[in-house]
Chain A
Amino acid sequence: MAVGTNCIGCEGSAIAVKSILTCGHAEETGPDWLEFLDHTADAGILVQAPDLKDLFARAAWGMFSLVTDLDTVRLVERSRIRIEASDRLALMVNWLSELNYRHVTEHRLFGKFAIVEICEKWLSAEVHGERFDPARHKVFREIKAVTFHDLRLQRDDQGWKAQIIFDL
């Protein structure tokens, strides 16, 4: 499924929960580009995407789908984020860690992620979401950390794949 091309509400490499739901892919198990890994102690996701921008955007969506029901998150606020790192693996960890940090310290939930530019060692992104509202939102769990354990970013014929394990 090419999210961002044939979904209503998606532009460029943005991943928006509403559009995925419109496409009928956000079942209990998530859209078809997202798999939850069977890891005894912690939780992990396996994400596929046609390009690197989508891969990073979908990884963020996958992480927040562990945190909350993304269907309840309104996309009313927009933030710009720039992330730097020593290499691409660290870029993924720093990107997700930054979003988790903002979620925890600013009490925000994010539901749409667009990577504007991405290189080996930095990216710029636009994220959409809203303030946490206990009346409408459930936080299922806290992510203690985005880990380097078994972290993989791979390119194949289909595009890109990422595996990320979170410490819960």
Chain B
Amino acid sequence: MEYDIRKLTDYLWELPQTGGMRVPARIYATEKMLPQILSDNAPQQAANVAHLPGIVKASLAMPDIHWGYGFPIGGVAAFDLDQGVISPGGVGYDINCGVRLVASKLSREQVAPRMRELVNQLFRDVPTGVGAAGALSVPVQELRRVAEEGARWAFEHGFGSESDLEHIEENGCIAGADPAQVSQRAWERGREQLGTLGSGNHFLEVGYVTEIYDEEATQALGLALNQITVIIHCGSRGFGYQICSDYLDVMDRAVKKYGIALPDRQLACAPVNSSEGQNYLGAMRCAINYAFANRQVIAHHTRKAFEKVLGMSAADTGLRTIYEVAHNIAKFETHTVDGSEMRLCVHRKGATRAFAPRCEEVPFEYQAVGQPVLIPGDMGRYSYVLTGTAKAMEETFGSTCHGAGRAMSRVKAKKLAAGRNIIREMEAKGIIIRGQSRRTVDEEISEAYKDVSNVVDACALAGISRKVAQLKPLGCIKG
């Protein structure tokens, strides 16, 4: 596809405002990444988002931008609460898909010899999906409380600690959830999936800190070289998928009702203040809370698996939540636009909140360094810990990238893995993998993903986040 793209800085590119666009589209990337980004229609999708009513400043894309349903993945779009819209396509099917980083008191040397046992235990204790034993079966009446209370519900039912809640975006519970706006189908899909990872690119990874880029921030976060860490990447499961599907249909009708002109039907949306918009917000927030509870339960099972395999107490393993971020979400936030404060509905689809030092939303002990951001890579390479910056507050509504993004389809990945034993190859590299099947693992091979370090470096160079530490995997379970 041909784009009229203009260079704003070495790390920021613009598709100027033309036709029905209300604002320009801006893409964060290095010059080297640009040809690959421009090779698919994700930049066009970013330009399409710029057509939506009430969009403020620019339709933004992070360096990990790639094709998504309607909105690109890696997209950030903020809307005025009075004139603007809310769109399920701007959040994604997996509402509040996110990442929790847990750190321990353990060193690589203590855990590595027991890694196979640990991965097997985690695979038993953290169910991955359909029909898996070990998931919580929650009656619909109780599920309503999960939808309203989020991670706090899990904590009050014996999963994890109060300290976990203080280290989750929104403290693990977003206000304004309205269970009355959730369909029976969504409740049914969510009933037996609490505490499960799901499939696709979701995973639970045990790793260790391999590089430190920012001494002050690693100290504030309590990270050190060689320290064992855990990353939990999953979302709101079938509950959220169903809510998204239900409201795509509602919004499709709302577009006609409110006479909203769209360049692509998949951008279906409704005014934030309309009944359709409010109903979606109420239902989406239920899914946000479900995902917070889901990761809280999984983190609890992870702690128990460590204690069992290593024969240690909770105090000795010392597994504590460093932070948890959401990367598929829409939230009301206050930002400064053209010198004045505005209340906005910020959509982040495959993008992470990255608030600066001294923002009130940042936990007390991270006030000096900024909000931690967790960027998972693929199962064979590395993941990154970043922090938010003042520049992100100025330019991206306090947002940064979310991950690597696939470089090739599952069909291609499977072909590439044909005749190879990926699990054994990973073992040779010192990484123990357990998946539902070889097929699942083959589709997720390292080579199928872009190198996440390029994405992270582009964000750091653009100044929208700071690099803090690199983590490498030792063991991983895949759905």
Chain A positions near chain B (C-beta within 8 angstroms) = 36-41, 43, 97, 101, 103-105, 107, 132, 134, 137-142, 144-145, 147-149, 167-168
Contact = CB atoms under 8 A, between A and B. Distances in A.
B68 A105 contact: no
B185 interface: yes
A101 B130 contact: no
A168 B67 CA distance: 14
A137 B238 CA distance: 20
The winner among A97, A101, A139 for most chain B CB atoms within 10 A is A139
26 contacts: A37-B411, A40-B66, A40-B407, A41-B66, A41-B67, A41-B68, A41-B73, A41-B406, A97-B245, A101-B185, A101-B189, A104-B130, A105-B189, A105-B191, A132-B131, A138-B439, A140-B199, A140-B440, A141-B200, A141-B440, A142-B129, A142-B198, A144-B94, A144-B238, A145-B93, A147-B69
A55 to B, nearest CB: 22
Contacts of B66: 40-41
B436 interface: yes
B410 to A, nearest CB: 6
Nearest to B244: A145
Nearest to B406: A40
Contacts, number: 86
Contacts of B436: 138-140
Contacts of A139: 129-131, 199, 436
A148 B94 contact: no
Chain B interface size, as a band, is 35 or more
Contacts of B437: 138, 140
Contacts of A134: 131-133
Contacts of B244: 145
B426 to A, nearest CB: 19
A53 B288 CA distance: 40
Given A137-B131, A139-B130, A139-B436, 15 more contacts: A37-B411, A40-B408, A40-B409, A41-B67, A41-B68, A41-B406, A104-B189, A132-B131, A138-B436, A140-B199, A140-B436, A141-B479, A142-B479, A144-B94, A148-B248
A37 B412 CA distance: 10
Contact of B409 (A39, A101, A167): A39
Contacts of A43: 409-411
Interface in B419-476: 436-437, 439-440
